Amino acid sequence: MSSITFIGAGNMARTIGVLAVAGGNTVEIMARDQSKADALAKVLGGGTTSGKWGAVPAGDIVITAMLYAGVVSTVAEYGEALAGKIIVDISNPFNSTFDGLAHSDETSIAQEVAKIAPPSAMVFKAFNTIFRSVLEEGRPDVFFAGDNPQAKADVAAFIESLGLRPLDVGGLKMAHWLEGAGVLTVGLAGNGIGHGNFAIGVNEFTD
Ligand SMILES: NC(=O)c1ccc[n+]([C@@H]2O[C@H](COP(=O)([O-])OP(=O)(O)OC[C@H]3O[C@@H](n4cnc5c(N)ncnc54)[C@H](OP(=O)(O)O)[C@@H]3O)[C@@H](O)[C@H]2O)c1
């Protein structure tokens, strides 16, 4: 099992945290508002602890469960405290009309994180294509992207511990396209599907 620290104590930290505890992982919560970290740790139970904002996370895998605008600055603020950690960015940097990304060019929040994180940190994108309600009720595929082969195995094992299927989409530069898939998901929810109780996934067709 894995040791996980969430930075952020909002809805996604709670939803993935519930699955993480149920999957036998060790969980820690950090938040800029210590009382929110303490409260979520209590809700999650199963030995979940709360850590101090900016301290070295207890988890080997650090999930930045914050609104996208706070992710890069928070990783910069943590600095060397994240050395050697697997950092998993789950954010969706939507533009104001939810039909594109808030940043231009072929970058992503995860790639921007990799630029300022300690060189020994291993940065991933995952979970961003899945609505929280689906994570609570279903068994969606979890797409993830990152560069380090050993860390890929660790991220995949963590996702499997949640009872979900990890699907490796490639290196960290694919994080840009995962963010695009987040936009696609919102477009489907607002148009062709018409609700949020679905997730994009993969069906294989073999002879
Ligand atoms: N909800 C979904 O269905 C879903 C699905 C896929 C991906 N995501 C992504 O997951 C991330 C978290 O979403 P959520 O639904 O958990 O949001 P949320 O419930 O609004 O929680 C956001 C968390 O981010 C923290 N935060 C916001 N700005 C911050 C900053 N500048 N510095 C430090 N902390 C900051 C908040 O702290 P305070 O409480 O102190 O404000 C809170 O802990 C987002 O990037 C979102 O795009 C969400």
Nearest CA to ligand 1 atom 6: 128
Tell whether 195 is covered by a domain.
Answer: no
Find, among 137, 124, 128, 95, the residue nearest to 200 by Cα: 128
Tell me the DSSP string of 144-164. EEES-HHHHHHHHHHHHHTT-
Read off the pLDDT of residues 120-174 as tens digits, 9 standing for 90 and up. 999 999 999 999 999 999 999 999 999 999 999 999 999 999 999 999 999 999 9
Tell whether 199 is covered by a domain.
Answer: no
Say how many domains are in the chain.
1
Tell whether 152 is covered by a domain.
Answer: yes
Indicate the pTM of the whole model.
0.98
Q: Which tokens is 21 given?
A: 């505890």
Domain with residue 148: its CATH number is: 3.40.50.720
- Pocket probe for ligand 1: among 7, 12, 130, the residue whose CB has the most ligand atoms within 8 Å is 12
- Print the domain residue range for 134: 3-190
Query: At residue 153, what is the residue type?
Result: A
Read off the pLDDT of residues 48-60 as tens digits, 9 standing for 90 and up. 999 999 999 999 9
Tell whether 162 is covered by a domain.
Answer: yes
Tell whether 206 is covered by a domain.
Answer: no
Centroid of ligand 1 to alpha carbon of 106 (angstroms): 23
Tell whether 156 is covered by a domain.
Answer: yes
Tell whether 123 is covered by a domain.
Answer: yes
The finding on whether 8 has its CB within 6 A of some atom of ligand 1 is: yes
Tell whether 204 is covered by a domain.
Answer: no
